[in-house]
Amino acid sequence: MAGRADSTKVPGWIRSLMLLVVFTACGPPLSEPSSLNLSGRWTSTDHIGPIVNLEMVLSQNADGTITGTWVADVPPPHPACPPELSPRSNGTVNGNNTVIGITLAILGTGDFQGQAIDGGTLHGSILSCSNLYPVTWTLAGPVPAG
C-alpha cells in the first residue's frame, strides 16, 4: 500500500527527546565533582611554548575545586610571551575537576582543559599566548608534606 504510514517509525524529534531523557537520567549532573581526586604532584615533559619541565602540586576539595602551585623551567628566560618568566618560574593554579572534565588556570602559563585518563594520567591542552599545546600530565606522587 503506497499511502499507508509505517507505524513502526518514530519521528526524529521523539527519538531526540528520548535520548535526552536517557542521558539526563543515567548519570550525575555534568557540573558535579568528579569521583577522582587529583590531589598530588603532577609533572609534564611537554613544551608549552618556552615552558618546559612543568610541575604542579594540586589539592582538590570535596566540591571539586582545585588550588595549587606550579614551577617550570623557561629557557631562555624572559620570553615575549608569556612575559616576565624567569629561568625557574612559578605561580598559582586554580580550577575545577568535574564529571565533564578538568579546567585549570595555571596563572602565568595558560589555561588547561582536559580529562583524567586514569588515576595517574591527565590529557588535554593548554591555551597559552593564543596557541594550543597538547599536554599529558603524570602523577609523580602525593602532595609534599610541609
Is the model's pLDDT at 82 over the cut of 80? yes
What is the C-alpha separation between 60 and 96, in angstroms, rounded? Answer: 8
Reported as a pLDDT band with limits 50, 70 and 90, residue 28 is: low
Which CATH number do you get for residue 84?
2.40.128.20
Domain hosting 110: range is 40-141
Number of domains in the chain: 1
Q: What is the pLDDT of residue 32?
A: 87
Q: Is residue 133 part of a domain?
A: yes
Mean pLDDT of 23-51: 83
Q: Is residue 117 part of a domain?
A: yes
Element (DSSP H or E) covering residue 53: strand 52-60
User: Sign of the CA dihedral 13, 16, 20, 21?
Assistant: positive
Spatial contact of 96 and 103, defined as CB atoms under 8 Å apart: yes
Nearest Cα to Cα of residue 97 among 26, 37, 24: 37
Q: Is residue 7 part of a domain?
A: no
Predicted confidence (pLDDT) per residue in 89-129, tens digit: 999 999 999 999 999 999 999 999 999 999 999 999 999 99
